[in-house]
Amino acid sequence: MNLQLQNVSKTYPNGTRALNDISLVLNNGMFGLLGPNGAGKSTLMRTIATLQQPDTGTIRYGDIDVLADPLALRKTLGYLPQEFGVYPRLSAERLLDYLARLKGLANRAERQKMIDYCLEVTNLTAHRRTAVSSYSGGMKQRFGIAQLLLNSPGLIIVDEPTAGLDPAERQRFLNILRAISTESIVIFSTHIVEDIADLCTNIAVMNKGNLLLHNTPEQAMADLKGWVWTANIAAGELPEYQTKYQVLSSAYNRDNSLRIRVEATTMPAGFAPASPSLEDVYFFAMMR
């Protein structure tokens, strides 16, 4: 089963071109969608999730024409938006039971079996009788994964899910996504490059509604081999280097000098070759 988007565009009434002729084909595995705030990532996620219609284009998931039959997709869709609300006094178990019934799990025994599974996968079994409203940010995000797994989705969409999580919770959350992506298409939208560096089988970079790059992480980095160079400079020299070179990134050293990475077809004087990183890929795409 794959997901196909062909020439999908969306312009809002205020004239903002949120999606500009987006075409993609995705298969099982983790797909990382990178871009700054306002790049169009959330619009694309909402469009695929049938929460809004594009102006033009087609979306197909296997045999399903998503735009013509959104209900058919929703039966196999798991969606975790940036923010979601919960009932203030309901425990995780009771809220999952309620959501499972909404998703059509009528048989009580089967419903309980699925709830137990979802709590176990997300490491929330010990907190099943605790009100979800009292959960930490990371636990709420894991509950978000639990609720989207109730209908055994083949297509999973998570939009900026690690924002505000501490490192331990972030890693727990990413490990859960990695585990479930073997049997599903998981679309993971983020502006944090390191979230997808070791996680995604495919990546794309978006900005201002445009798809700038779509590749495997390995191939995207290999394509930059021989184009990335690094040097240490005084912090005050950065503006001068920015006028001479395409500076991909800069970071302070302990002595307050800067290590910069630049893109150039040949090695500039005073620089050394650098192995391309996924961060280089992202900034290189954003400069195009």
Residues 174-216 have pLDDT tens digits of 888 888 888 899 998 888 888 787 788 899 999 999 999 999 9
Question: What confidence score (pLDDT) does residue 243 get?
Answer: 95
Helix 167-180 / helix 108-121 crossing angle, nearest 10 deg: 130
Looking at the fold, whether 7 and 62 belong to one and the same domain comes out as yes
- Residue 91 in any domain: the answer is yes
Give me the pLDDT at residue 199, please. Answer: 81
Q: Which of 81-95, 112-126, 219-233 has the lowest mean pLDDT?
A: 81-95
Asked, for residue 81, whether it belongs to a domain, the answer is: no
Same domain, yes or no: 70 and 93? no
Pair 147, 161 in one domain: no
Q: What crossing angle do the helices spanning 108-121 and 137-148 adopt, rounded to 10°? A: 140
What pTM was computed for the model?
0.86
Same domain flag for 65 and 6: yes
- For residues 80 and 157, the answer to whether their CB atoms sit within 8 Å is yes
CA atoms within 13 A on the CB side of 214: 8
The mean pLDDT value for 120-147 works out to 90
DSSP 84-145: ----TT-BHHHHHHHHHHHTT---HHHHHHHHHHHHHHTT-GGGTTSBGGGS-HHHHHHHHH
For residue 173, tell me if it sits in a domain: no
Q: Assign 192 to helix, strand or coil.
A: coil
| Containing structural domain, residue 34 | 1-76+154-166+181-214
Asked if 228 and 281 sit in the same domain, the reply is yes
Residue 230 and residue 261 in contact, taking contact as beta carbons nearer than 8 Å: yes
